[in-house]
Structure 1
Amino acid sequence: MADVNRGNRPLSPFMIGPYYRPQLNSITSIVNRIAGIALLGGAMLVVWWLMAAATSEAYFNMVDGLLTSILGDLVMTLSVLALWYHALAGVRHLVWDLGYGLDPADADKMGWGMIIGAPALTFLTIISI
Structure 2
Amino acid sequence: MSGTNRANSRPLSPHLQIWRYHATMFASITHRITGMGLYFGTFLIGAWLIALASGPETYALLEPAFTSIPGQVVLFVWTIAALFHFATGIRFLLWDGPHIGFEPKTASAVSVFLYVFAVLGAVAIWATILWL
User: Does the TM-score normalized on the shorter chain lie above 0.5?
Assistant: yes
As a proportion of its length, which structure holds more helix? 2
| Higher relative contact order (Cα pairs below 8 Å, separated by 6+ residues) | 2
Match of 2:108 in 1: 108
Asked whether the 8 Å contact 2:51–2:58 carries over to 1, the reply is yes
Gaps of 5+ in 1: none
Structure-2 separation of matches of 1:19 and 1:71? 42
Gaps of 5+ in 2: 1-5
Match of 2:90 in 1: 91
Amino acid in the other structure paired with 1:42: G
Identity of aligned residues (%): 25
> Deviations for 1:14-46, whole angstroms, at most 9, x for unmatched residues?
x7xx57432221111111111111111221001
Asked whether the 8 Å contact 2:37–2:81 carries over to 1, the reply is yes
Give, in angstroms, the shift of residue 55 of structure 1: 4.2
TM-score calculated relative to the size of structure 2:
0.79
Structure-2 separation of matches of 1:73 and 1:62? 16
TM-score calculated relative to the size of structure 1:
0.81
Amino acid in the other structure paired with 2:109: K
Pair 9,38 (structure 1): closer, same or farther in 2 beyond 3 Å: same
Q: Which runs of 4+ in 1 moved over 4 A?
A: 4-7
Secondary structure of the corresponding residue to residue 48 of structure 1 = helix
Alignment of 1:109-124 (within 5 A): 109-124=109-124
Alignment of 1:45-84 (within 5 A): 45-55=44-54, 57-84=56-83
Amino acid in the other structure paired with 2:122: T
Give, in angstroms, the shift of residue 9 of structure 1: 2.8
Match of 1:40 in 2: 39
Root-mean-square deviation over aligned CA pairs: 2.3
Asked whether the 8 Å contact 1:32–1:86 carries over to 2, the reply is yes
Amino acid in the other structure paired with 2:12: R
Match of 2:24 in 1: 25
Give, in angstroms, the shift of residue 51 of structure 1: 2.3
Structure-2 separation of matches of 1:127 and 1:30? 28
Count of aligned pairs between the two proteins: 122
